[in-house]
Homo-oligomer: A and B are copies of this chain.
């Protein structure tokens, strides 16, 4: 049996250990928008400068951002998303859509994303195999690790 004090092994938890700290995903948002300079990040995110510096180091170490000079003399830097960082963008888009739907029922949206197809982007999470939109009731969880079963309606 699992020892009485370690949590469920989980990629969500692991991902959040990297990008789940306060401001981290907002840093990634700005980097994806092309606003990767330190003072832009400070202004657009509203985070304390020291915390931001800490987050940037972590995200660079994790391979989610890179720090590149956009000017030598004077040295000036810019943070850009790596491939791994760009692959987190769908998480941001999905979260943004959720916020638009549930937190802004009557206000306008602060940002609209246009897809290259010409329409406004409404992100939908689909099953790669069948293409259908994903809904809770269509899912069955299969824990791969002994001792970490699941009890509810999503159970294996």
- Expressed in whole angstroms, the minimum distance between the Cβ of A58 and any Cβ of chain B is 14
Q: Mark A111-155, 1 if CB is under 8 A from B, else 0.
A: 111111111111111111111101011111111110010111111
Chain B, residue nearest A63 (CB): B102
A60 at the interface (CB under 8 A from B): no
Q: Mark A91-103, 1 if CB is under 8 A from B, else 0.
A: 1111111111111
Are B9 and A110 in contact (CB-based, < 8 A)? yes
Are B130 and A117 in contact (CB-based, < 8 A)? yes
Q: Give Cα distance in the complex from A103 to B118, angstroms.
A: 34
A96-B26 in contact given A5-B46, A32-B154 (Cβ < 8 Å): no
Are A115 and B96 in contact (CB-based, < 8 A)? no
- Expressed in whole angstroms, the minimum distance between the Cβ of A97 and any Cβ of chain B is 8
Are A7 and B45 in contact (CB-based, < 8 A)? yes
Within 8 A of B (CB), among A60-116: 63, 81, 84, 86-104, 108-116
Chain B, residue nearest A6 (CB): B46
The 10 A-B pairs of least Cβ separation, nearest first, read: A34-B152, A11-B99, A7-B46, A119-B129, A117-B130, A15-B99, A90-B125, A116-B138, A122-B128, A9-B110
